[in-house]
Amino acid sequence: MGLQLPERTAPAPRRGRRVGLAVLLGVALVVLAGCGTDTELERLAMPDPVTVEGESTLALWQGAWIAALLTGGFVWGLIFYVIFRYRRRHADEVPVQTRYNLPLEIFYTIFPIIMVIVFFDHTIKTQNIVLNDEDVPVQNTVVVVGQQWSWTFNYPEAVDGEDGQPVNVFESGTGNNIPKLVIPVDTTTRFELRSPDVIHDFGVPGFLIKMDVMPGQDNHFQVTPKKTGTYAGKCYELCGVYHSRMLFTVDVVTQEEYEAYLQGQYDADFYSDDPVCGGSFANTQVGLDTEENGEVCQ
Ligand SMILES: [Cu+2]
């Protein structure tokens, strides 16, 4: 004689509904949070974009999270609904045995492919905005050199030298001296990235962009800062023993302050005809030829 289990009825769908509601509420919160850009919650943990280009990156980040969470919410909702709605109610009960469901299988094959295509499309569009250097007039150029293990920032043809010819001014850091990059606000500055030794990666969290600095490959991108301030930057590519010392600060200043800074570097004798390819430290690395480095940097 089998044990007769009491029949359980009402609470199950209600609990399922409650879980579904909680999932929905969570997703709705994130969607609502993703609508603004003022707080860290609204930016979904992204830094506040300092540049015009960074706004597009942030929009892509928020959009991708909202799309992913809507999909996640839908899937979680279905999972929990099925767990509660179709759970076993009797010891001797055999659930409905479904071997396949063609429309459903077609749906969950096609839909992720469509999602990937949409994500890819938005990524390419954002990339074209962020890296667009054809329609955006570049007003200022900085040659950024990543060297083991610091940075050199060159400002080509920044000030007029004694003979009236424009000269390059620079600031070169070392492991013990964190260098400062200075750029003007509301101006499009292009960073020309050069490396005399190994692959580094130039990035500023506030700009929402980073890019590899590779020997033999001339990478570049540009930013248009929209507010003044001091921001932190660093190397994002493990480049050797003292990689962690490759820090720098970025000062976004007014045009007048920028010109005063360039003149100050010239007055302090930090100038040369051509961009400097790293500090003296870089040229003493084993296997590096100074003359060859010069060519890499042009
Ligand atoms: Cu590095």
Residue 197 CA, ligand 1 centroid: distance in Å: 10
Per-residue model confidence as pLDDT tens digits over 260-270: 999 999 999 88
CA distance 292 to 260: 33
Shared-domain flag, residues 126 and 145: no
Q: Identify which has the larger pLDDT, 68 or 279.
A: 68
Please list, residue by residue across 81-119, b when 16 or more beta carbons sit within 10 angstroms of its beta carbon and e when fewer do: beebeeeeeeeeeeeeeeeeeeeeeeeeeeeeeeeeeee
Q: How far is the CA of 61 from the centre of ligand 1 (A)?
A: 26
**Rounded mean pLDDT of 274-283?**
64
Residue 150's H or E segment, with its range, is: strand 150-160
Q: Yes or no: say if 274 and 298 are a contact pair by the CB < 8 Å rule.
A: yes
pLDDT band of 289, cuts 50, 70, 90: very low
- Please report whether residue 244 resides in a domain: yes
Q: What SS3 class is residue 166? A: strand
CATH value at residue 216: 2.60.40.420
Same domain for 189 and 207? yes
- Ligand 1 centroid to Cα of residue 195, in Å, is 9
In a domain, 95, yes or no: no
pLDDT recorded at residue 18: 66
Q: Are residues 126 and 144 in the same domain?
A: no
For 180, the 3-state DSSP assignment is strand
Residue 224 lies in a domain: yes
Distance in angstroms (rounded) separating the CA atoms of residues 17 and 102: 28
Question: Ligand 1 mean position to 264 CA, how many Å?
Answer: 27
Kindly compute the dihedral angle of the four CA atoms of residues 24, 27, 31, 34, in this order, to the nearest 10 degrees.
Answer: 160
Residue 127 has pLDDT above 60, yes or no: yes
Which pLDDT belongs to residue 175?
72
What pLDDT, on a 0 to 100 scale, did the predictor assign at position 15? 59
Say whether pLDDT at 248 is over 90: yes
Q: Can you tell me the distance from the alpha carbon of 63 to that of 69, in angstroms, rounded to the nearest whole number?
A: 10
Assess whether 180 and 106 both reside in one domain.
Answer: no
Average pLDDT over residues 36-64: 90
- Determine, yes or no, domain membership for 5: no
Ligand 1 centroid to residue 211 C-alpha, Å: 11
State the average pLDDT over residues 263-278: 86
Confidence tier at 9 by pLDDT (50, 70, 90): very low
pLDDT at 24: 65
Distance 295 CA to ligand 1 centre (A): 20
* Per-residue pLDDT reduced to its tens digit, 185-223: 999 999 999 988 889 999 999 999 999 999 888 899 999
Residue whose tokens read 């060159």: 154
Residue 287 has a pLDDT of: 39
Residue range of the domain that includes 119: 11-87+100-130
The answer to whether position 173 is within a domain reads: yes
Compare 125 and 34 and report the one with higher pLDDT: 125
Tens-digit pLDDT profile for residues 29-40: 666 666 677 788
Structural domains counted in the chain: 2
Whole-number Å distance, alpha carbon 282 to ligand 1 midpoint, is: 12
Domain assignment of residue 94, yes or no: no
Q: Is residue 279 part of a domain?
A: yes
4-18, 23-37, 80-94, 98-112: segment of lowest average pLDDT: 4-18
Q: Are both 115 and 170 inside the same structural domain?
A: no
SS3 59: helix
Task: Say whether both 126 and 104 belong to one domain.
Answer: yes
Q: Are residues 144 and 50 in the same domain?
A: no
